[in-house]
Chains A and B, each alone.
Chain A
């Protein structure tokens, strides 16, 4: 019975997300196999965010969390959306069937087929090992039980969202307010845990972490679909997805679930991929999805709004294909000057001290990225492929994804070099966790760049200007 409840708790948001995407008619113009992978991959992220938004709304109107207030309306909504999508596209069911068939019957040579099934088997073992940890281990990592599950426990028992306040406010005796280590953190992650416990019918701080496994699984599928959507061969797309699923730090965040970094990384990656699709295709559905996921970023972690802003350079390059890079270059130079100014002055604006300390701990960062077991060969591969593929990454079709990734890297470097995170770098507490947000996108960019390098030179290279409206110039 527990197993059924847990399966339902994962299936509901997943199916809800897929139903929304199908009703939206997304993705447009893809083959059934690619469309299936994209729907399945993006479905969980979209559905999980929608589920928690519904829970917020239920809490606001005073509906206690339960099967009736959450499961029933969202199941109905899912059914209605599927019905609507099926009416709009009568061939939906047969497309889904041929999509599943395409995933396993793609045109692969004998050795490619062997590698294909070996990789799938290897991934199945990986997910089974991670599932063992999720199923059995009580909530383990530190921040999970001082700032995330604290909220989940209170909200589950109360059946609604209750406020968490700062230490001084709590000590002053504000009624009906709780306290934990980070009272201002967003509600999405605890609400996902609450929903799992609601579905299960009891508080269980092991079982409530199954969403983390679903996040990594759906992200893996989404990356496969996104790479296939850009014309990457099935086996190479699977290898790209495998790279993401096998990144040790991402695996750890599933095995020792409870932190918001993996959900943050997944939603940001999906937002970036949807933005990239919009840049290339200008399909409003891609744009709507990208906007929704970008708005969802700050709902997961507070720095999510900065991650959402890193998507803008991609949009600029897409809208202004001729002048976009120059504008971004000028903006980057101006930002560098502002940073330099703030690092050398003690400016105070609206009472806020704007001085920035430049205290990077590069040695620890290099150790963490290149010498320890956190990232497999990711950083070696990224640096090599970006150097070798430099002539491709700043041209269509890769340039929007490149500038998004560079903006993300710039944000990471800013955090490491100028904020108190630099101090945390010294004892390796935060560098890797912050990098989780960007790592899947680095894999996608690296794989797409390699794909461009491996393409025969005779093939035409798509240009942004051919797909998008040219700018006024």
Chain B
């Protein structure tokens, strides 16, 4: 999926053929516990990749590695052609400085299971915090843009509210708007609907579906198999720190090849 759909991040000419995320033998350990045991994955531009698997399989850890929230211990991980955590200079790799890491993170949006909105700030300030503080964007236009984004996620009337006055589903949609305000080239979703009441899940998934339709590159860690089938371009099943199976959602979800995929799907579907 390399066709750059319009609407998000105009890719530079040189990087147009490069996949958005490319992982080769990515390893990660916490002490002696090996969480990722050599992950290979490619996410094309505009692709929606759904990561599924039992808890503890390393899905979230992998997602966090892409955003520099975790450091990888082995292998290679590149976002938009640039290595995560390093800058190449001649034949050497230089570890990124704090401000360089921040600049990289600013290009990637992330949505968390527990929303993590800033509770001391209004909904509008939550959404403008990134553009105004990180990108030093002027306040007025940032607010207009934030209102626009909030309207898009169906929360135009909540701009002045504080996060704890909103339902979980509304908070998660604000979190999506907050991430979008940074004009990310890639959106990471870490179980965005797992902390929600069942009847609130739909609204959040609708927003994500719209986003996918507009051509956003997305990696979604999820337990929503319906969403994965409908919206995902690829489904990756992970277990025990390895990719067990990946491919077309309908294929993987209805006709899994691997025993472990079968037994997992039997439990969740």
On whether the two chains bind one another, the answer is no
Chain A residues proximal to chain B, CB less than 8 Å = none
Chain B residues proximal to chain A, CB less than 8 Å = none
